[in-house]
Structure 1
Amino acid sequence: MSLLEVFLGTLEVTLPVFAMVFIGIALKRGGWIDTHFVNTASNLVFKGTMPVLIFLSLIKADIDTAFSPSLLAFFALATLATFLLSWAWAIWRVPHEDRGVYVQGAFRGNCGIVGLALAASMYGEYGLSAGGLLLGVVILSYNILSVVVLSAYRPGRSANWRSIVKHIARNPLILAVVIALPFAILEIGMPQWLMTSGEYFASLTLPLALICIGATLSIGALRESHDTAMGASLMKMVTLPLLATGAAWLVGFSGRELGLLFLYFSSPTAAASFVMVKAMGGNAKLAANIIAISTLLASLTVTAGVFALRVLDLI
């Protein structure tokens, strides 16, 4: 296969995902959708369509293939390592008051939407099922580590750990995984009409979520960004994916598992990071700029990463 064919094949994976993000930008700028629509649609995706998507993908999956303890364990350890590396770099290079926001922006990826969409685009049902299982690790580790680092740089405020644990336990995405596992393991069937209706509903998830991401972005963030925002974005989109994916390859991951790990490691900064920063009294503007810059960079860095891994015949 020629380099051109590999590159065109790579674009077939990444372009449909990022095209929806840019369509969201255009719809918002054209006045076709507004903030109220984005808030309502985002709520529908988080509480409704995405849990159904994860549930259906898991009950239809071959759990023996999709469930990989080594994959889940490596992702958790790699997340902790990238978190600590980002923190160490922030101590050296970032002003004290912005370190918590920098670290969260650098390690916390938007795996639930962008990562899962890319996994589905590249690997179909396997990407959805294995990616859905990974989301349990993502939600737990990202939320806990984010609170730790943001609390460390807000000495006047203490984290409400009971509320955080309750929030995680009630997370619709985690509940979808927990509810789906018995169905998948015991091979419990569901009526075909219910499966079909669920698939119609779940099919709204990825396009609607990606359009909402685009609608919340600000191109002006590129002009307004300063060194801290750009540094965190480059750490998130270039440095950490290279290190984490390289480590995954060194310990023996390859093929679909390595590809899935790369897509999750290289997802842009999660929009939820802005909400958490604002709630804890941090620099919300810096958080928003990191989200915008990393999301816009993702169309280039993810495409380049998938292309490189395919050229090297690693995925």
Structure 2
Amino acid sequence: MLALIQQTLAVTAPVFAMLFLGVLLKRLGWIDTAFVNTASSLVFKGTLPALLFLAILRADLSAALQPRLLIYFTLATVGGFLLAWAWAIWRCPHADRGVYVQGAFRGNNGIVGLALASSLYGDFGLSLGGVLAGLVILCYNALSALVLALYSPSSKTDPWSIAKSILGNPLVLAVLAAIPFAYWRIPLPDWLLTSTGYFAQMSLPLALICIGATLSLASLRESGATALSASLMKMIWLPALSTLGAWWLGFRGPELGILFLYFASPTAAASFVMAKAVGSNYQLAAAIIVMTTLMAVLSTNLGLFVLQWGGWV
């Protein structure tokens, strides 16, 4: 149990460090609102698409392909998205529903989920987790673009406008562009991959610094109840239901463990960037990221303890 807690902290602690750095830099006056706006736009339009492109490009789509597991994960993700959306319609203010839904279903699988899967299951965890990450990127970004377009104050809600919003999303475009290169193993020049890697590596630090810079006690108080509701949905209810469904269908061992880790990952930092890009309540998005990352240290370890105690993983 202690080893699992240390592994989780090793992944989440750097996230907290960058969040607090953003708070500190804002307090010191080294960055301001103009910087946050510019940096968030750069992440959304440039560095994060580059990161996603490389993640898909480097994933071995022919390895660890388990159609039954991938189909279940996709269906569970869509089911969790619809459940969070239904709950938001009932309990959440109209203007915040898109941010609520995105925060409640979109996990940080590329950082937290993949790191824990690799740590616990070695090469198999890295291989299966990498394939799942490619699927996750496409599902999360398409569904997030849809729900944010529906509730964004600056977006039109007719079907054509929503379709354009999804297909014109830089993150979705990056994934679609990378799939043929990954599937057919089309080589790219080493210098191009290296330069793109340098550019992409700015994504997480910049996004987390911007999140930290927007955090304040006032904004946390204002979004407290809504952020807590979304965080409980993300870290307890949806992982429990999805993992129970996987267990009922017969998944066991590393497959069940990796599915749980991906379902139980805290909300992705990209949710803040997307919310800010479409003019939604990015302060609520930031609060959800902070709360779910805090919860992950306890909930991830507790969930793994239960699964190990039952002899299922």
User: In structure 2, what is the Cα distance between the partners aligned to 1:76 and 1:291?
Assistant: 23
Q: Which residue of 2 aligns with 1:16?
A: 14
**1:50–1:202: 8 Å Cα contact kept in structure 2?**
yes
Tell me the equivalent position of 1:291. Answer: 285
Counterpart of 2:271, as a letter, is A
**SS of residue in 2 equivalent to 1:28:** helix
Take 2:67 and 2:18, find their aligned partners in 1: how far apart are those partners?
Answer: 33
Tell me whether 1:100 sits opposite 2:94 in the alignment: yes
Cα offset for 1:110?
A: 8.1
Amino acid of the residue matched to residue 295 of structure 2?
Answer: T
Task: Determine if the alignment matches structure 1 residue 306 to structure 2 residue 300.
Answer: yes
2:146 to 144, 151, 173: 144
Residue 270 of structure 1: aligned partner: 271
Q: What secondary structure does 2:265 align onto?
A: helix
Kept in 2: contact 1:59–1:184 (CA 8 A): yes
Structure 1 residue 197 corresponds to structure 2 residue 192: no
Query: CA 1:191/1:172 → structure 2, altered by over 3 Å: closer, same or farther?
Result: same
Classify the secondary structure of the residue corresponding to 1:63.
coil
Separation in 2 of the partners of 1:128 and 1:247? Answer: 22
Structure 1 vs Structure 2 CA RMSD: 3.4
Q: CA deviation at 1:169?
A: 0.8
Deviation at 1:7, TM superposition (A): 1.3
3-state SS in 2 of match to 1:141: helix
Q: Who is 2:158 aligned against?
A: 160
Structure 1 contact 109–269 (Cα < 8 Å) conserved: no
| Identical aligned residues as a percent | 40
Tell me, yes or no, if the aligned pair for 1:268 and 1:294 is still in contact at 8 Å. Answer: no
Residue 77 of structure 1: which of 71, 75, 78 is its match?
Answer: 75
Provide the rounded CA distance (Å) in 2 between the counterparts of 1:110 and 1:236: 4
Superposition pairs for residues 210-225 of structure 1, below 5 Å? 210-225=208-223
Residues 113 and 206, structure 1, Cα contact 8 Å, conserved in 2: no
Residues in 2 aligned to 1:207 and 1:41: alpha-carbon distance in whole angstroms:
10
* SS at structure 1 position matched to 2:62: helix
Name the CA shift for 1:171/1:259 in 2 (closer, same or farther; >3 Å): same
One-letter code aligned to 1:118: V
1:226-237 equivalence runs, <5 A: 227-228=225-226, 230-237=228-235
Q: Residues 139, 226 of structure 1: CA spacing in aligned structure 2 closer, same or farther, 3 A cutoff?
A: closer
Answering whether residue 14 of structure 2 is matched by residue 25 of structure 1, we say no
- The residue identity in structure 1 corresponding to 2:293 is S
Distance 1:114-1:90 versus aligned 2 partners, 3 A rule:
closer
80-89 or 37-46, which moves further after superposition? 80-89
> Contact between 1:111 and 1:270, CA under 8 Å: does it hold in 2?
no
Q: Does residue 208 of structure 1 match 2:206?
A: yes
Structure 1 runs (4+) deviating above 6 angstroms are 110-113
Do the aligned residues in 1 keep the contact of 2:41 with 2:277 (CA within 8 Å)?
no
Aligned residue in 2 for 1:131 = 133
- Structure 2 unaligned blocks of 5 or more: 119-125
- Cα distance in structure 2, aligned partners of 1:46 and 1:209: 9
1:76 and 1:141 in contact (8 A); partners too: no
Check whether the contact 1:87–1:103 (CA below 8 A) recurs between aligned residues: yes
TM-score of the aligned structures, taking structure 1 as reference length: 0.77
User: What corresponds to 1:36 in structure 2?
Assistant: 34
> Does structure 1 retain, via aligned residues, the 8 Å contact 2:5–2:301?
yes
Whole-Å separation in 2 of the counterparts to 1:14 and 1:171 = 28
Change (3 A) 1:185 1:233: closer
Q: In 2, distance between residues paired with 1:42 and 1:110?
A: 21
> Alignment length, in residue pairs?
295
Cα deviation, residue 165, structure 1: 0.9
Q: Is the 8 A contact 2:39 2:206 kept in 1?
A: yes
Aligned-pair distance for 1:226? 6.3
CA apart distance, 1:309:
3.6
Q: CA 1:20 to 1:112, structure 2 compared with 1: closer, same or farther past 3 Å?
A: farther
